Structure 1
Amino acid sequence: MIDATTYCFGNCRFTPARQSLLCGDIPIRLGSRAMDLLHALVRQPGQVVKKSELFEAAWPNLFVDESNLKVNIAALRRALQTSGVDVPCIATVPGRGYRFVAPLTVLGPREATLPASIKEIDGALPPSKPLVGRADALAAIVEALQQTRLLTVVGPAGVGKTSIAIAAARAIANGEDQAVCFVDLAAIEKGQFVALAVSRALGIVGNPIDDVEGLVDALRGRNQLLVLDNCEHVLAAVAGIADQLNHALHGLNIIATSREPLRCRFETVHRLPPLQCPPADAILDAGSAMAFSAIELLVRRAEAHGYRLEDADVPALASLGRRLDGIALAIELAAPQLKESGPAGLLQMLERDFEALASRGDGMSRHKTLTATLRWSYRLLSESEARLLRHFSVFGGTFALDDAIDAFGYLADEQDVTAWLEALAAKSMVSVNYTGRRRRYRLLDSTRAFANERLVAQGEQQAAMIAYGRFILALFERAEEEWTWRPREDWMALYGGWSADLRRMIDWAYRVEGQAELAVRLTVAALPFWVEFSTMAESGSRVEKALSALDDLSGDHLLLRMKLVAAHGWNLCYRYPFGDELEATWMRGFELALKAGSVEHCLRTKIGLANVQSAMGFHQRALETIGDLRRFMASVDDYSAAPNADRQLFTCEFYLGNIKSGHAGLERLAREHATFGNRGQTSRFQIDRFVNFRNHLSLSTWVVGQHRRALEVAEEALNAALTLDHDLSCAHSLALAATPIALLCGRVDLAQERATMLIERLKSRQIDTWPPFARFHQAAIDAARGEREAVERLRNAVGVIRECNFLVHLPLRYVMLAHAALSHDQVELARQSIDEGVNYCRERGDRWCDAEFLHLRGLVCWRDGDTVSAMRRLQDAIDLGRKSGALGFALRAATSRVQLATEIGDPAQPLAQLKDISDRCDSSGSTDIAAAHVALTRAHARTA
């Protein structure tokens, strides 16, 4: 039997077995050598055919000069050009050979009859459901087709390309009275059948060999819209045909759908994004959720199966939309199961895998599950592209080209990885977006799950994960280095998005034998990250696990242990109770830093030790530690921690009763660090330096009688912490400055606002340090608002704080408890609180509230009816307050003394004293000032 294989290009038909080359119906005369060369070229269309192969085809077993090849190729080109073939057919590849480049259709002897897949094509526009969330995209496509005659809708599997192409075709047909022909190429397995499929769809009857030219002739003069659906697997054939038709027929419009552009002349590409999903932090009800097109489509389709939307379902529905990445097909497949499984149940199933998304209706087999559509796209990739996609499945979020090269550059050189990544993006297997003008990539969740399954199946997972773990390690080691100089906002933007990958890699490394050291190194590199993001509970558990794992590793690993012990010390500062372990950890950390020769960690551990000693009420011990630190700084000539050491020194002086010098020192530090900026190393010593200094200054400012200024300083610190969005600094500011200063100034509503803010912050961060303080503040606020039972809660809160042994400002808490008890006529509780507070202060040398305790004893004596003792104690409080510089306390005592003197009928003597103190304090800003003015007014009226 004669092989009747025929090769069709341009308007030519070449049948090698018959040595027949026809251009239209006219034979082209060629020599047998030229015919043999043409046969050798068309058998490998688009590929380089080497000169040696061409010699073997035309001159087998003969040696001839290379010029014979050139002469015959030139004759072949002339013959084709003379016969009217207007497209280039044969390209020279210098030094290698030749390539056949014209679009080619190959018809074999059994392919002369139409395949079954083509016989089923009728060209009719398929029915479709109403689009959801695509109004803007549809309008853009219809408008674009007024300006271009070839538009390709490009997007990932299942995003809805076919649906919007059908909707656009229907809109154009209705508006322009244009005939529409729809060709689904999904079932066309070979590119050589594309022209035949289009002919069949158009209803063209004639010789199927006359493919493109026959299409041109049949369509000439028509007002026709041609929709070519699912082009990605026959892209080259579609591109060739579309290009020729677009060039020859000015009355023809073409809409194509594909995972990647056709890359034709004058092609317009419309990239169809997924449907819009709610952000993870969005707070929605049923109405606002439906504004997101992914949720709207899910609900609308589910309603047809009996589902009804309720507010309680919204969080799970939002998570479902994000899990499905807004992919229309995935949503369509999920919707029928929503009523039966419920949003939460369906989400749980999809968290495991996407096989639950099996279609229950009709449709092509490749569209019956989401996995099937991905499998279809995956088969179209080259092996190199597929391997890279499998490795990309270990990325948890977005990544840049540099990240891909750094992580998986071992697979190939940079140029190849770049080319394969761009090919994956062009084929919509990898999504592309731009962040700060930087191109970033990500795999949709469904694609990632699919690719990861194949990574495991290919036995590549462990190698990929180890490579990725090393990439994450290098990333966070770079972050640790840059933390010392890069502005905080930039630093967090660069590295904050990698947190999920970091956690996943640490957990994976611990699970895999032989990778524990990687897990430890990842933990160490991430230490600044956890502090900047205030995730102290996570840091605590991971640091303890790393220290335990480090004991089982061979080798010294001194630097790793040093950093982990220092981090453990900071983490213990956010747990209760404080005690010997905390001090011992900091001391051990300093020893390790000294041994390792790390000046930085020597500074950190000494500052940490002084902080916790003062926090536990051992202020004199903290001063000794600061002295050691200053001597160390002098020995190494590094004073970078001097401002923090000075802050601790001045604070301890203040607590020990040296109020004037302590406050003056804190004022000086605040002046020297007066500019707030988004600096690097916000958390070098856990709390931002600008914020920390002002938090302590605000209290000393109130004690020295500058109430309005104290409120301003506390507000300045809080605003800086909020601008940084650093939870540790925010909590520190709210707990130690903003809330208590508002309470001391009698600004109860402001105190409530700040207390609520602290509680809200603590909900998102597991920081054990501050909840007892928050409970104390809330009880004090409630007591100030007249709630008698709040006094008992206030006492309980003080008891808890003592049990925790975090005793910063403890004397003030006893003072506030005693005042609350007196205001609710609970004199015995006030007496008890004063005694406990005084005993604590004598034991620890915490003397800054001594004047106020004297004032309180005077108030108790007044309540007991002992006005003589009351007057004496109030005067003692005034004298001590003035002498130590605690004018805020002196003002309170002087006001009470004038009130008592007015009551007993002798206000003249204390009046001048109160006026003098009041004049030296702020003229506004607190209820104490107001009370002083009232007392002065009444006393004046009594003596007038």
Structure 2
Amino acid sequence: MIDATTYCFGNCRFTPARQSLLCGDSPIRLGSRAMDLLHALVRQPGQVVNKSELLKAAWPNLFVDESNLKVNIAALRRALETGGIDVPCIATVPGRGYRFVASLTVERPREAAFPASIREIDGVLPPSKPLVGRAGALAAIVEALQQTRLLTVVGPAGVGKTSIAIAAARAIANGEHQAVCFVDLAAIEKGQFVALAVSRALGIVSNPIDEVEGLIDALRGRNQLLVLDNCEHLLADVAGIADRLNHALHGLNIIATSREPLRCRFETVHRLPPLQCPPEDATLDAGSAMGFSAIELLVRRAEAHGYRLEDADVPSITSLSRRLDGIALAIELAAPQLQANGPAGLLQMLERDFEALSSRGDGMDRHKTLTATLNWSYRLLSENEAWLLRHLSVFGGTFALDDVIDAFGHLAHEEDLTAWLEALAIKSMVSVNYTGRRRRYRLLDTTRTFANKRLIGQGEQQAAMIAYGRFILALFERAEEEWTWRPREDWVALYGGWSADLRRMIDWAYDADGQAELGVRLTVAALPFWVEFSTMAESGARVEKALSALDNLSGDHLLLRMKLVAAHGWNLCYRYPFGDELEATWKRGFELALEAGSVEHCLRTKVGLAMVQTAMGFHQRAFETIADLRRFMASVDDYSAAPNVDRELFTCEFYQGNIRSGHAGLERLAREHATFGNRGQTSRFQIDRFVNFRNHLSWSTWVVGKHRRALEIAEEALNAALTLNHDLSCAHSLAVAATPIALLCGRIDLAQERASMLAERLKTRQIDTWPPFARFHQAAIDAARGEREAVQRLRDAIAAIRECNFLIHLPLRYAMLAHAALSHDQVEVARQSIDEGVDYCRQRGDRWCDAEFLHLRGLVCWRDGDTVSAMRRLQDAIDLGRKSGALGFALRAATSRVKLAKEIGDPAQPLAQLKAISDRCDSSGSLDIVAAHEALRSGPLRRRRRRISAWS
């Protein structure tokens, strides 16, 4: 539409839109530059228009010498004089510019020529629905307007700025008795119409030369509240008008809404955040979920369409609220579809496309879909800001300025990226928060999806993703290097938040043409990350894929293969069954490490080989591997793995029956590593060193008769693992030490607590190593609580453990099964369990439980009525236990021998023997010790047949 505004001075009529200057009825010939200069002057009559503004008006986007301005001003003056103007029109202001000084009137176009958007303005405050979750923000805005006369509500698209501005205006009007005028500027396309739109809204019908001065004159003395809605596209014009009104009218309050501040003098900015969504780890029911404002708004609006929130829907509803970013408009658009599609169905739709959020109601076009709202904001960006927004869509979570520079610094100057990012933040296209005093940015999911579509549409995605992939690679290569020294808490905080981006980039690299090597390198760089976060199932799948992809790449890639094979070895430790492939993988890993000259990976692969050989019960093989490893450490003068090597050595000694020396060695290691800290490389050998040493020490401590201390050591290890929050270490501690030691000590309730903790860990972490152990422990707990059928479950669990070939502590598991069977009068099951356990020990050289098997044979003989053989076997168990240092087993056998002796009438010697053994054990801590003390304190002999129980 043509703006037909005409400026009248002297006998001249100047209509800029038609490039027409008439003096009387005669046209005056002027060049286009002179016309533009005259237009710039008459728009601001009586005011100094500086030279730069005039140059910009006449020569936009060009650099010209100031002499051109002087020449054209002179030509304009001559033309006006020639046309018959006998008074000066243009005055020079030395050093500053020029001023139009002639008397001027303005003829506005007829009202029919105004845009429809202006003609329809009536100033009435629109109706609104009750606000949800905004009580605090509303109170803050109302209170702020007691102290300031110009407040701008700033926030991202659709967050609810208009709704809260209307609510605040209504509250102020009711409380302060102010007249309210509402002006929606969304449809006003040109800044020159802003003042006219406000005049129309206020009902001002005068036609002054200066619209703003006319507003000031009309409003002088009024108690008025002016709401200027949707100002972001007319920022400069709205800011100029608001500033002048605010300065001149002390009875006027202004509430503006905008994506960014107006930047006026004395402006107060209220940033409106999205509605509150539950954190990802929240456990909620329907009642507690409604405490989050995003869910409350979604449910309240959906209730009008027949939806009712139930507990079963809460997980999907919480995910839906996060997917909608707590953006009020998105929630309002989603709510009507909730009943028809269900929360899970609607969430699935929105995961594909936000276009599902289409309004079926009235409203402006740009508010009919979320995409249209975002597009409105996007069009207001400069070309460079839009470019950066599109590229930022590759970030999956929060990021810092340094991350943007590292990712895209090769495409733009650092200073430019800084300025563009800050502009996006100011315009609410990027959210800003502070973490540890560091400024971090994030694209809302809605904005990210929108921007990513534009990235694809511009053909920029491939280059952007390659750049981002290289950034993620550099990030995790740095993480790998820092893993060797940075405290774990700091390391996790720095790199833990990048997991989703890492996964997404690996998947993209394998799917994109020619980027497989990037996928392999990302996988290798991420290896410490997966171990620290105990995501072994994911690591296993990704390592195997990387090894397969590596075979198809040209070149050697020795270092990449070395790291992947070592990681594959560790991953196989968390799958069943253990066997030749596992040993072969470790040996292959060592060969590659030798070839690559990597001492670190030589150590890791050899330690890994020794660990699995021990776990499979091949203690002699483990001794040979340990000897090789010690020679290697001496040859390279690197003893950093020596504590772990010694732990393997002492554990093997213990299992082979050298209980005293094995236990003493483990005790020494524990003393040398008496504290745990937030160290780097917590999981260099998968399990934290402090935790691992104590898990094994707790077993040897129990066997030597220090039951209370064994419980304490197991608890120390578990507490350390929990403090580190390292799932692999926690699971190891619960499966290997905390649960079985509690069982062996007869602390059934504590064992149940620990078993339940392990079960919960295994729900969230796919660690195939431990489920058979967990089933065994639960069956043992149930058997101890009197459940006869649990004995068969113990047998099944042992069969599963043997099938898996992860045989750590298998001899004592057979012994525990035999005790449980005897306690439930299943003598044949006990006999079979003892025989299988003894056969296994003979085959593998596992001798640490020999005394306990002798004790069990004695109990079976006693149950069979052969008291002579029973007494002999029990004495053999006592002697072997005392000789080997297994006083825990000797205590059990001596207690049983006292009970048998009392039954057959010869208790004196057994009582003395039990007293001597008991004095060398802990005074408390287990049912075995309690049973020994009761036997020592028991009264007169009674000849009766008694049920023999492991825990009696």
Q: TM-score, normalised by structure 1?
A: 0.93
1:24 is displaced (CA, Å) by 11
Structure 1 206/855 Cα, relative in aligned 2: closer, same or farther at 3 Å? same
**SS of residue in 2 equivalent to 1:283:** coil
Corresponding residue of 1:274? 274
**SS of residue in 2 equivalent to 1:854:** helix
Corresponding residue of 2:72? 57
Distance 2:108 2:411 in 1: 40
Corresponding residue of 1:729? 729
1:312 is displaced (CA, Å) by 1.3
Corresponding residue of 2:470? 470
Distance 2:919 2:850 in 1: 23
Distance 2:602 2:577 in 1: 25
Question: After the TM superposition, which residues 540-579 of structure 1 pair with which residues of structure 2 at under 5 Å, given as runs?
Answer: 540-579=540-579
Render the CA deviation track for 1:480-528: whole Å, top value 9, x for unaligned: 0000001111101111111111111101110111100000000000000
Structure 1 729/27 Cα, relative in aligned 2: closer, same or farther at 3 Å? closer
Contact 1:36/1:57 (8 A) holds in 2: no
Render the CA deviation track for 1:22-53: whole Å, top value 9, x for unaligned: 999998699xxx99998655457999875254
Corresponding residue of 1:518? 518
Corresponding residue of 2:789? 789
Letter in 1 for 2:342: G
Corresponding residue of 1:102? none
Render the CA deviation track for 1:199-257: whole Å, top value 9, x for unaligned: 11111111154211111111111111110000000000001111111111111111000
Contact 2:45/2:99 (8 A) holds in 1: no
**SS of residue in 2 equivalent to 1:411:** coil
**1:243 correspondence with 2:240:** no
**1:865 correspondence with 2:884:** no
**1:350 correspondence with 2:350:** yes
Corresponding residue of 1:618? 618
1:114 is displaced (CA, Å) by 2.9
1:336 is displaced (CA, Å) by 0.8
Distance 1:549 1:405 in 2: 31
Structure 1 903/384 Cα, relative in aligned 2: closer, same or farther at 3 Å? same
Corresponding residue of 1:881? 881
1:74 to 79, 87, 93: 93
Contact 2:537/2:767 (8 A) holds in 1: yes
1:106 is displaced (CA, Å) by 11
1:115 is displaced (CA, Å) by 2.2
1:286 is displaced (CA, Å) by 1.1
Question: After the TM superposition, which residues 90-101 of structure 1 pair with which residues of structure 2 at under 5 Å, given as runs?
Answer: none
Letter in 2 for 1:454: R
Render the CA deviation track for 1:454-499: whole Å, top value 9, x for unaligned: 1111000100100010000000000000000011111011111111
1:410 is displaced (CA, Å) by 2.3
Between stretches 472-481 and 73-82, larger displacement belongs to: 73-82
Contact 1:40/1:57 (8 A) holds in 2: no
Contact 2:47/2:100 (8 A) holds in 1: no
1:281 is displaced (CA, Å) by 1.6
Corresponding residue of 2:890? 890
1:261 is displaced (CA, Å) by 0.4
**SS of residue in 1 equivalent to 2:349:** helix
Distance 2:45 2:652 in 1: 106
Structure 1 867/29 Cα, relative in aligned 2: closer, same or farther at 3 Å? closer
1:149 is displaced (CA, Å) by 0.6
Distance 1:701 1:917 in 2: 15
Question: After the TM superposition, which residues 893-908 of structure 1 pair with which residues of structure 2 at under 5 Å, given as runs?
Answer: 893-908=893-908
Structure 1 834/423 Cα, relative in aligned 2: closer, same or farther at 3 Å? same
1:391 is displaced (CA, Å) by 0.7
Letter in 2 for 1:51: E
Contact 1:718/1:733 (8 A) holds in 2: yes
Between stretches 207-216 and 35-44, larger displacement belongs to: 35-44
Question: After the TM superposition, which residues 523-922 of structure 1 pair with which residues of structure 2 at under 5 Å, given as runs?
Answer: 523-922=523-922
Between stretches 474-483 and 35-44, larger displacement belongs to: 35-44
Q: Which runs of 5 or more structure 1 residues have no equivalent in the other structure?
A: 62-70, 86-104
**SS of residue in 1 equivalent to 2:356:** coil
**SS of residue in 1 equivalent to 2:93:** helix
Render the CA deviation track for 1:289-314: whole Å, top value 9, x for unaligned: 11111111111111111112211111
Render the CA deviation track for 1:540-559: whole Å, top value 9, x for unaligned: 01000100100000000000
Structure 1 244/877 Cα, relative in aligned 2: closer, same or farther at 3 Å? same
Contact 1:7/1:42 (8 A) holds in 2: no
Corresponding residue of 2:233? 233
Contact 2:676/2:720 (8 A) holds in 1: yes
Contact 1:907/1:939 (8 A) holds in 2: no
Contact 1:196/1:208 (8 A) holds in 2: no
Distance 2:119 2:402 in 1: 49
Overall identity of the aligned pairs, in %: 84
Structure 1 35/902 Cα, relative in aligned 2: closer, same or farther at 3 Å? closer
Structure 1 364/37 Cα, relative in aligned 2: closer, same or farther at 3 Å? closer
Render the CA deviation track for 1:728-782: whole Å, top value 9, x for unaligned: 0001000010000000000000000000100000000111000000000000000
Structure 1 7/400 Cα, relative in aligned 2: closer, same or farther at 3 Å? farther
Distance 2:44 2:526 in 1: 76
Contact 1:898/1:939 (8 A) holds in 2: no
Letter in 1 for 2:671: R
1:344 is displaced (CA, Å) by 1.1
Structure 1 35/877 Cα, relative in aligned 2: closer, same or farther at 3 Å? closer
Structure 1 463/6 Cα, relative in aligned 2: closer, same or farther at 3 Å? farther
Contact 2:746/2:926 (8 A) holds in 1: yes
Contact 2:902/2:941 (8 A) holds in 1: no
Structure 1 867/739 Cα, relative in aligned 2: closer, same or farther at 3 Å? same
Corresponding residue of 1:93? none
Contact 2:915/2:936 (8 A) holds in 1: yes
Corresponding residue of 2:132? 132
Letter in 1 for 2:171: A
**SS of residue in 2 equivalent to 1:151:** strand
Corresponding residue of 1:162? 162
Question: After the TM superposition, which residues 382-531 of structure 1 pair with which residues of structure 2 at under 5 Å, given as runs?
Answer: 382-531=382-531
* Cα RMSD, aligned residues only: 2.7
Distance 2:767 2:737 in 1: 18
Contact 2:871/2:897 (8 A) holds in 1: yes
Contact 2:92/2:98 (8 A) holds in 1: no
Corresponding residue of 2:315? 315
Structure 1 691/14 Cα, relative in aligned 2: closer, same or farther at 3 Å? farther
Letter in 2 for 1:474: A
Structure 1 27/509 Cα, relative in aligned 2: closer, same or farther at 3 Å? closer
Structure 1 109/207 Cα, relative in aligned 2: closer, same or farther at 3 Å? closer
1:909 is displaced (CA, Å) by 1.3
Distance 1:823 1:728 in 2: 35
**SS of residue in 1 equivalent to 2:270:** strand
Q: Which runs of 5 or more structure 2 residues have no equivalent in the other structure?
A: 24-37, 77-89, 944-952
Letter in 1 for 2:168: A
Distance 1:41 1:776 in 2: 84
1:58 is displaced (CA, Å) by 3.5
**SS of residue in 2 equivalent to 1:180:** strand
Structure 1 59/37 Cα, relative in aligned 2: closer, same or farther at 3 Å? farther
1:404 is displaced (CA, Å) by 0.8
Structure 1 658/84 Cα, relative in aligned 2: closer, same or farther at 3 Å? farther
Paired residues, what number?
908
Corresponding residue of 1:188? 188
Letter in 2 for 1:659: I
Distance 2:795 2:107 in 1: 94
Letter in 2 for 1:74: V
Structure 1 756/110 Cα, relative in aligned 2: closer, same or farther at 3 Å? same
Distance 2:806 2:739 in 1: 18
